[in-house]
Each structure stands twice: as C-alpha cells, then as structure tokens.
C-alpha cells in the first residue's frame, strides 16, 4: 500500500430541524454533542458535530441543519447506511431500548458475522446499530444518555449505493488505503485495518435504482483520515490519477481538508487528524458554546441572533 489511512474521519449530512437533529443524536443514539459552530461557507446556518467523548476521528457525525429544506431521495451515487458500532452483546439491549422509546427498527439481521439493527433518524437517514467483535474493547462515553457499556463507540462503517462499483473500489484501494476483504449478499466490503472505529466501507451495486438526490435525510459527503498534511498530500496525489479534480487544501479549524467527487458520484473528503475539537474549548466543555472561526467573530452578535435555539442536549 503506497498510502496510509485509518479509515473514516467524519460523515456530514443534511438535516431539516436542528432541534430534532440534536435530540435524536444525543438523546436517542447517546452521542456527545462535541461542537456547535456554523457552516463556514454560510454562517447563517449551523454546523453541528456529534461523536465520542473527544470527537475522535472515526466517531464524528456532522450535520448542516437547514430548516425547511426539502427531503432528498435515497439512491445511487450516495453514501446511505451509516453504521454505529456497539458491542455485539449490546444488540439485544438496543433492540429493547428502541422498542421502549417507540422507534421503529428492522432486525437484528446478520451481515459479515455482525448483528445489525436498521432504523431511520427524524429526517429519514438510514441509521444502523452494528454489534461488532471489537467495540467491547473500546471505552464508551460515560457521560451520555446511554450507559457506557452499551454506548455507540463510533462508526462501524458506511455503505455506498452505486450503479457500478469498480471505479469507486479503485479509489478506495489505490488512493485511500483500503483493501477488499469479502462480500456478503451483494455487498462488497473494504477495510482499512481492523478492530477500530470507522475502518469499513461497503459498496452495494444497486443498478436500476434511480440516482439519489441531495436534501434532508441524505449524506452530503464522507471524509477519510489522513494522519498529517504529508499523508493527505500523498493520498490526494493518488486520487488525482483516478478522478478529474481534487480541490486545494481548505482549513476547517478542526482539521484541514481536500475534496473530490469519486467516479460513482459520492463526494469524498480527506481530512487531517489534527488539530481536533479541543483546539478552541476544553474537552470537558465540548459543544456547550457557539464556536466561530476568526473571520466571523466580529459578527458574533448578529450570527447568534439569527440562529434558532437548539434546546437542551
Ligand atoms: Zn467534511
């Protein structure tokens, strides 16, 4: 392998109501609200980050909540099911919890020797609770709505819906450090290492299915980890051989990113592990205050006044 990657860094999606979004991901899934900031390209709307205790790469689910945005459409050329890893022994506990809270789900089903519960968030995103062999060895966050032993540890992985998987598979294996490790019921599995957060990407060829459409309930992009700028540059160089365009590096305050659209249609990002979410507030207080990048600080009062209340996570 010419590049090093450790899998997924974060996943970013479109939501409609920010309050419902915060409620579901903190109270129902039990994730930590690790950063409250604005969309750096549109400071009139939030960018909300959820994750484990520190928001480490492989655990970070982020949303652009746009009140009133139209629902998107599930389909090809998109990242669809987002899997959240819990210990295999916790799947029964989760099934009971979801049932008791009136949240509809399917499963558990077996896939690659894992147990999977499938549900939807308030905007219609496909959410999977995945019982894995390795999650029990990773500490769960003890400060959330879900007891630490059953808590979501981070991503198990993500599933892309594609009309044709071959070109996407090449990007994963030749630029992003993944290897194909198996297939199950029409699903090809790619892994970047094993036994850790976010190391799995599944490709599902769903030819004949209509193309997806961005909107509420649809993933906007998925980001892969780079240990530092040099690793990112190397991965971007490999990607340039396979895709038409890779952007210059953009500073996102909590990481530095480059973006490209992979041949199957999904927007990919490569994000650095550093500096992380403790760069502008201590870990003990992550997510409590609205954080703004320096260029927007002079306009804080106006920005705050225009943003909707989020309620109590
Ligand atoms: Zn991103």
Q: What is the CATH number of the domain that holds 149?
A: 3.10.180.10
**Closest residue by Cα to residue 188 from 176, 177, 209, 172:** 172
Pair 226, 235: CB distance under 8 Å: yes
Q: Considering Cα of 41, then 168, then 153, then 231, what sign does the dihedral take?
A: negative
What's the structural domain count of the chain?
1
Question: Would you state the pLDDT for residue 1?
Answer: 37
35 CA from centroid of ligand 1 (Å): 14
244 belongs to a structural domain: yes
255 CA from centroid of ligand 1 (Å): 9
168 CA from centroid of ligand 1 (Å): 19
158 CA from centroid of ligand 1 (Å): 15
**Residue found by looking up tokens 């519960």 in the block:** 117
Question: Would you state the pLDDT for residue 5?
Answer: 47
d(C-alpha 147, C-alpha 84), whole Å: 15
Domain membership of residue 64 as a residue range: 8-306
Q: SS3 for 22?
A: helix
The gap from C-alpha 58 to its chain's centroid, in whole angstroms, comes to 8
What the block records as the tokens of 286 is 């992550």
311 belongs to a structural domain: no
Question: Would you state the pLDDT for residue 109?
Answer: 97
Question: Would you state the pLDDT for residue 2?
Answer: 37
149 CA from centroid of ligand 1 (Å): 29
110 CA from centroid of ligand 1 (Å): 30
Question: Would you state the pLDDT for residue 65?
Answer: 96
What the block records as the tokens of 120 is 């939807």
Question: Would you state the pLDDT for residue 93?
Answer: 98
223 CA from centroid of ligand 1 (Å): 6
**Regarding beta strands 219-226 and 267-272, do their DSSP bridges make them parallel or antiparallel, or are they unpaired?**
parallel
Question: Would you state the pLDDT for residue 273?
Answer: 96
92 belongs to a structural domain: yes
* Most distant CA pair in the chain, distance: 54
280 CA from centroid of ligand 1 (Å): 18
312 belongs to a structural domain: no
Alpha carbon dihedral 251, 253, 255, 261, in 10-degree steps, equals -50
List the shell of residues around ion ligand 1, using CB closer than 5 Å. 12, 223, 269
Q: Which of the residues in the chain have pLDDT under 50?
A: 1-3, 5
11 CA from centroid of ligand 1 (Å): 6
268 CA from centroid of ligand 1 (Å): 8
Pair 72, 216: CB distance under 8 Å: yes
* DSSP letter assigned to residue 27: I
2 belongs to a structural domain: no
284 CA from centroid of ligand 1 (Å): 24
3 belongs to a structural domain: no
């Amino acid at each position: 392998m010419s590049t090093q990657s450790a899998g997924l860094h974060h996943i970013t999606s479109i939501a409609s109501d920010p309050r419902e979004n915060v409620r579901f991901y903190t109270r129902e899934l039990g994730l930590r609200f690790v950063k409250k900031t604005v969309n750096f390209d549109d400071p009139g709307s939030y960018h909300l980050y959820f994750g484990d205790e520190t928001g480490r790469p492989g655990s970070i689910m982020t949303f652009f909540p746009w009140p009133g945005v139209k629902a998107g459409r599930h389909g090809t050329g998109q990242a669809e099911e987002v899997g959240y890893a819990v210990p295999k022994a916790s799947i029964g506990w989760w099934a009971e919890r979801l049932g008791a809270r009136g949240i509809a789900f399917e499963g558990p089903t077996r896939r690659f020797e894992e147990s999977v519960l499938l549900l939807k968030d308030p905007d219609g995103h496909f959410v999977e609770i995945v019982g894995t062999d390795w999650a029990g060895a990773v500490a769960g966050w003890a400060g959330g709505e879900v007891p630490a032993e059953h808590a979501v540890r981070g991503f198990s992985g993500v599933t892309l819906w594609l009309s044709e998987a071959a070109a996407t598979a090449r990007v994963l294996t030749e630029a992003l450090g993944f290897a194909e490790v198996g297939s199950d019921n029409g699903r090809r599995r790619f892994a970047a290492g094993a036994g850790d957060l976010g190391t799995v990407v599944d490709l599902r060829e769903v030819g004949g299915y209509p193309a997806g459409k961005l909107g509420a309930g649809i993933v906007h992009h998925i980001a892969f980890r780079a240990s530092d700028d040099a690793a990112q540059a190397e991965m971007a160089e490999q990607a340039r051989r396979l895709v038409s365009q890779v952007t210059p590096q953009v500073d996102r305050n909590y990481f530095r990113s480059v973006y490209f659209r992979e041949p199957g249609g999904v927007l990919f990002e490569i994000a650095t592990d550093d500096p992380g979410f403790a760069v502008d507030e201590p870990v003990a207080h992550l997510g409590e205050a609205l954080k703004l990048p320096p260029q927007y600080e002079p306009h804080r009062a106006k920005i705050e006044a225009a943003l909707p209340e989020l309620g109590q996570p």
